[in-house]
Structure 1
Amino acid sequence: MTMNASGTPETENLRVGVDVGGTKIEAVLTDAAGTVLASARKAARKGGDEVVEDAVAIVRQVAGMRFDEVRSVGIGIPGLVHRDTGRVENVVNLGIENLELGGRASGMLGLPVWVDNDVNAAALGAYGTLPDRLKHGRMAFVNLGTGLAAGFVRAGLVERGDTGALGEIGHLPVDPNRMACKCGQRGCLETACSGGGLRRMWPVADPPLPDILARADGGDGEAERVLGIALHALADVVQIVAQAADPSVIVIGGGVSRAGSPLLDALRGELRNREASSGFIAGLRLTERLRLADASIPIGALGASLIAC
């Protein structure tokens, strides 16, 4: 709490951002400048009622004794989000077909609640962490979480499509392995390089990717096979994002990206192989555009707080 010019206390303009994922929910308490004051995390539960209950509970948890100073809440969640109403649809990994998330959470908290797609929120959070020299053009954020999607930011503003489906590249059915997807299609990119897809292909370790990378480096044939599937799909993702939106920076984030530099090195190797046989791909200079999101910052929750007016 700060003091005004007359010496009497005044409350700060605090906001809470909530990042609802397929396996976890994170929240941050931020001040008006976007500084993170507190954070919280809990496991996600499937079902509409459960998501509303958990989002409300974690807002109260992260705000703690300062709940009365919170002026608004932002929630990022997968699926198709109607920002004007706070309604969400088709959250496949949480078993939600239709949920009035914004209205219900607002009623329970007694606060304005703004809802956006989780990847849009994470993209905004990731954009804020970039050095100024990389903010001159469009940034693409590729989220490798339980699912797969992309978000786009230009000059600090999230770019959106007409229906809210911009960036839903995880459900492009172009992967040649044709594995079944929860969305009802086969061959979605999400089945081959998302966290959920990797766990299905490599159930012996959690998280799977660091183990896959280490075993493949040691000559394990099955690990090499699975890694090849994942890298092929991820390189397809990078090409699709680059050729469709032409961003100056492509940030790889989400839980899978916590594999760190070995993942980025392997992805760049896959892209260089493509460059070697295609002058067109070489001219796109894809490897130079790639960055990893800062794993120490909860960018999804941070970005959600930034969408809260």
Structure 2
Amino acid sequence: MHPFLLAALAAAEAHFRADARCVGMYLHGSIGRGDTDAYSDIDVCAVIEDAHYPAVKAEMRELCGKLFGPIVAWLPEGERPNYCNYAFLFKNGDDLLLTDFDIISRSLFVERNQPPDRVLWDRTGILHEVAAKVHPKTTVAAERVLRLIDTFWVYAYLDGKYWCRQDLYKLLYVQETLLRTHARVLNLLHRESEGSWWAGDMAKLPARDQRRMRVYFSAATPAAVARSLARSLDAFAEDARLLCQQLHVPYPAERETAVRKHLHALGLPKPTRKV
């Protein structure tokens, strides 16, 4: 990690410690887990008293410019009345650096009940209280699993239409949706959670599944998409069946059969190798 990022984080921590409107601060991402490398940035969150949240939010851009450096790009993400992540690029000498700075209202932090990776400081004890709780495993609803399976096969059906039209970019759009849906199924299968961000979640999957999922990235022409689709259908069907078995939910095979029959009738190729 760039040394200035740590210095800027210390300055931000000192500023918010001195601001009575702030309840506490915590870290997440690689810095929160303690596995940073030379390319890591800062992921930090400040918990703000509800009544003062709008005022703190209005100050964030100017404040971050003072604490971190001249801002080159400012990107509010996931913005809600009581939460926002500010991803911003800033200059430090000749270096261009990135920070993700979240602010969240106290009530939403308590409602979310998500333990922080690493508490920096905690004025009232609520951050440590949430961190100390034993969080029960999520129960996967059969309805949610079936919805994911339906999502996959409906979008696989759309690939047939875009294949016939030779519409590459819509084919790629469908492949992206299939990838995200498949990743959620795999996360449920191995980790009992749908995950939060597929690009980060993928590395936590077994090596075999990581290799199988790369099939979604092998396409740059309609013909390549079709070959990729043929293999990805098999991989998804295998994983979805395992998940249904695990949850004692009947796998809706008729949906898969209908979509495969339709795609085959349109001339899409069958798998050429075992996945």
TM-score bin (small chain): under 0.3
TM-score of the pair, normalised by structure 1: 0.25
Which has the bigger relative contact order, CA under 8 A and spacing at least 6? Answer: 1
Q: Which has the higher strand share?
A: 1
